[in-house]
Amino acid sequence: MRQQIDLLQQLRDLDDQIQTFKGQVRARETDVRRTVMEESLIREALEREKAKLDAAKFRHRDANQNIDACQMQLKHFEKQLSDVKTNTEYQALLREIASLKTKVGQWEEQALEAMEIEEVTERHIEKLGKEMQVKAKLSQAEKTQLDQEVQEIGVQVEQLRMARTGVVEKLTPQIRSKYERLSKSKGETVIVAVVDGACGGCHYSLPPRTGAAVRRADQLVFCEGCGRILVTVQTTEVP
């Protein structure tokens, strides 16, 4: 029985290593997802700023065109001033000129406002563009690293799985079938260590006699909470 339990502990170590490797891959995947998310947030901000810049440029151009049109009209009216015959016509022209000058002032205000928005937005776009480049580089590096690790870890996990199969084959048919039944329902963590008097799988607080039985290692001990096989933390060098 001692030898069988040793084998189970080896199995548990192999499972732990497999889980650790899988955890490493998951952590990398999380990094990649986070960077991609940050990258897309920057891209969205960049798109918004570009749309803002386009709108400001449009308003700026529109204002300039209106200013030009008003100026032409003004010149026309000012020339007419010397040609009018009556005082009424003269006064009417003066009113037109005054009104046009007010309009020019308003368009100039709009042009100035648009220009200020352009300046600020252009600075934002430049800054966001740089951030975007940095993120894109980081994201590429993280993806490359993920691919590499997935490949390397894949090879190591495959080796661990083969070692695991070797260990499983050395178990007695009875223990093996128990193990495989549990494997189907619990996945890869079938054999768990006792941690501070509790099951390392479901954290069920084990009665002292269960803990003692695990330490004696003369029979298979199952968690009363989840049914997993319990072992001590030490591996093969059990005295």
Binding site for Zn ion (CB under 5 A): 199, 201-202, 204, 223, 225-226
Alpha helices in the chain (DSSP H): 2-81, 87-170, 173-186, 208-216
CB 230 within 8 A of CB 189: no
Contacts of 12 (CB under 8 A, 6+ apart): 191, 192, 193, 231
CB 190 within 8 A of CB 182: yes
Instruction: Name which of 212, 209, 207, 167 is nearest 191 in CA terms.
Output: 167
What is the spatial distance between Cα 155 and Cα 132, in angstroms, rounded to a whole number? 34
Smallest distance, Å, CB 201 to Zn ion? Answer: 4
Smallest distance, Å, CB 8 to Zn ion? Answer: 15
Q: Which amino acid is at 48?
A: R
CB 229 within 8 A of CB 222: yes
Smallest distance, Å, CB 197 to Zn ion? Answer: 12
The residue (of 153 and 192) whose beta carbon lies closer to Zn ion is: 192
The residue (of 41 and 195) whose beta carbon lies closer to Zn ion is: 195
The residue (of 108 and 227) whose beta carbon lies closer to Zn ion is: 227
The residue (of 74 and 202) whose beta carbon lies closer to Zn ion is: 202
Smallest distance, Å, CB 45 to Zn ion? Answer: 49
Smallest distance, Å, CB 26 to Zn ion? Answer: 23
Smallest distance, Å, CB 230 to Zn ion? Answer: 8
The residue (of 164 and 228) whose beta carbon lies closer to Zn ion is: 228
The residue (of 90 and 204) whose beta carbon lies closer to Zn ion is: 204
What is the spatial distance between Cα 211 and Cα 233, in angstroms, rounded to a whole number? 12
What is the spatial distance between Cα 143 and Cα 135, in angstroms, rounded to a whole number? 12
